[in-house]
Amino acid sequence: MTTSPFYEFDKWLFDGNIKSELDSTVLKIMSPLVVICKFNNCGQLTLFLNKYFNNFDITKINKLDLFLYLKKLVILLKIKRYDSTFIKLSKEKTISKDIMKEFPLLKDYEISTFFELAKNDPEIKSLEESIGLNNTKIKKSRRKKDE
């Protein structure tokens, strides 16, 4: 039974061995732009790859060299196979829901990237208050009048 070239590429990319060899048929089929898009949910790595590699000049780079570079990044940053999926398999976050109610044009991955970048900010509390996350609302109870 033959396997998909995308599956074979994923196995090679995430096997953790820098000296493993990539099959030549997989190398012919895989496009550098498709491979770059695999890392859309990886925070800082996504920003780095988009800045330097997400253009048509990527077709001038040798595919094998680019794929080896990405494999080194995967090993150094300890990225797992499930980190590179397009749709995150995780529970829904209440913070994301609250922000999406206020700003419906934002995507979930944009919100998570924003909080990943802002978590080291000393003014994170005031930032959350300005967005409306720490808003404590008092619920008023209504009593029925006896008649």
Q: Average the pLDDT over 32-56 and give the result.
A: 82
Q: Is the pLDDT of residue 71 over 70?
A: yes
Calpha distance 85→88 (Å, rounded): 6
Q: What is the mean pLDDT of the chain?
A: 77
- In whole angstroms, what is the distance from residue 29 CA to residue 118 CA? 39
Q: Is residue 3 very low, low, confident or very high in pLDDT (cuts 50, 70, 90)?
A: confident
- pLDDT, residue 1, reads 38
Residue with tokens 């590179």: 84
Q: Is 1 or 88 the better-scoring residue by pLDDT?
A: 88
| % of the chain beyond a pLDDT of 70 | 79
Residue 132 pLDDT exceeds 50: yes
DSSP classification of residue 81: G
What integer is the mean pLDDT of 53-74?
86
Please, which pLDDT band fits residue 135 given cuts at 50, 70 and 90? low
Query: Do 41 and 82 touch, CB atoms closer than 8 A?
Result: no
- The pLDDT, as a whole number, for residue 85 is 62
Residue positions counted in the chain: 147
